[in-house]
Structure 1
């Protein structure tokens, strides 16, 4: 193997990069120290019995929560089904990047907040407010917050997906809950077992809706393609001719209203 020889020019370049990085790190530490001093921060992670230690732990837990919020939104809410159905709709229309991804994600987030508002209200009333008032510990608040979320996910989770995840994780139902009926039977299950089952059910429902959305647009594509073939216009792309008809049909029947209504009512 041929060894690489570094020239004087290379050494100077790497030396300059190292010095710039060193200066940047020094400036970062200096700035953070000044900001912490100006804000009079007391980063004391003691036992948490004093006010400062408890407040600091709450701040750290808040940052941890904010770090996992995107995953929670995707995996434990209605966001998954909505964004997949909207993506299927755009592909069925054949409009490529219209509406753009930012619009679809924004619409999915707005609908997610609208659908999850009752769950958020229950979590706020039963867990967050008692915890802030000091009548409930952090562990008790987390347990109370899990209950509305579990109820929402169990109402949307298919039994076969739930049994599949229980079989994979080798989870058995407690004896006390075997006689219960409905969602109360599966409430003792851990959130780590319920979440993947909920996601699998959402994927199944989203793909079923995507199949039903594709059918009318596929019929339009077939009619346009056979018409062009019968006229001998084989060099003209059928998708280009069918696109205006699909858009016109979708607008005339109130397609957006029907899709959004079906999505929202599916969670009610």
Structure 2
């Protein structure tokens, strides 16, 4: 009985402490401006983290890499080799390699001073976005930039290339990267297409009508790509296209 009373007393004490530590949800409506601002910042941070993969694709070199690798796989005739995970991982690490100076500058001038409370959030956003703006301006096509700049001017916006809004620069940069990815993909597919045509001509001349030419050409395309050290040439060319 004594143990039961002792246990009941301990449970009651713990319950009273937990009740005392409960969050007063009714006080949120009476929160001051600083608390409301902190809550808005937290929601903003969660939103940015949720769209971080999209931001990585939009403002970096990832788009060009993944398009070139996808067209390479289709040109060889392999449906799932290399796997999507391998191609995306290789594209990501190549993106980190190419974007390393941009990432370092954004960290040193924007993120680190913000974490050390040396600059405000507004100033940090400008310092973080400036390296990416410079990178995109260096790689965007003039024709694509002029397209979105003219559309913005039709809406009454003033556009200056040095201080252009990211809402104008990012889509222009993306369509430029997609175009360059397809241009590189065409050059990649062309030799494989020649091999397919040669194999199809030989099989047709030999009367092998029921044998798909792609079945015969696949080993030759793989052998050709290996003999020319294709991965080294392709990756090197893609990286050098940003320097």
TM range (shorter): 0.7 to 0.9
Q: Does 1:155 find its partner at 2:124?
A: no
Of residues 217, 227, 230, the one that matches 1:252 is 227
What is the CA-CA distance between 1:96 and the residue it aligns to?
1.1
What is the CA-CA distance between 1:83 and the residue it aligns to?
0.6
Aligned residue number for residue 53 of structure 2: 70
The unaligned stretches of length 5 or more in structure 2 are 1-17
Aligned residue number for residue 28 of structure 1: none
In 1, the alpha carbon distance for the partners of 2:216 and 2:32 equals 70
Of residues 67, 78, 90, the one that matches 1:95 is 78
Map Cα deviations across residues 188-229 of structure 1 (whole Å, 9 max, x no partner). 110000000000100110010011011100010011011111
* SS of residue paired to 1:134: coil
Q: Does 1:224 find its partner at 2:199?
A: yes
Of residues 83, 88, 102, the one that matches 1:119 is 102
What is the CA-CA distance between 1:55 and the residue it aligns to?
5.9
What is the CA-CA distance between 1:86 and the residue it aligns to?
0.5
Aligned counterparts, 1:253-268, within 5 A? 253-268=228-243
In 2, the alpha carbon distance for the partners of 1:61 and 1:168 equals 29
In 1, the alpha carbon distance for the partners of 2:216 and 2:204 equals 13
Q: Does 1:237 find its partner at 2:203?
A: no
Could you state the TM-score of these two structures normalised by the residue count of structure 2? Answer: 0.83
Q: Does 1:133 find its partner at 2:112?
A: no
Aligned counterparts, 1:190-205, within 5 A? 190-205=165-180
Provide closer, same or farther for how the CA distance between residues 252 and 75 of structure 1 changes in structure 2, counting only shifts above 3 A. Answer: same
Aligned counterparts, 1:25-44, within 5 A? none
In 2, the alpha carbon distance for the partners of 1:47 and 1:172 equals 34
Map Cα deviations across residues 23-60 of structure 1 (whole Å, 9 max, x no partner). xxxxxxxxxxx9xx79x899966422xxx777655543
Q: How many residues align?
A: 218
The unaligned stretches of length 5 or more in structure 1 are 1-33, 175-185
In 1, the alpha carbon distance for the partners of 2:44 and 2:24 equals 17
The root-mean-square deviation of aligned C-alpha atoms, in Å, is 2.2
What is the CA-CA distance between 1:246 and the residue it aligns to?
0.2
In 1, the alpha carbon distance for the partners of 2:171 and 2:38 equals 33
* SS of residue paired to 2:163: coil
RCO higher in 1 or 2 (8 Å CA, sep ≥ 6)?
Answer: 2
Could you state the TM-score of these two structures normalised by the residue count of structure 1? Answer: 0.76
In 2, the alpha carbon distance for the partners of 1:82 and 1:250 equals 18
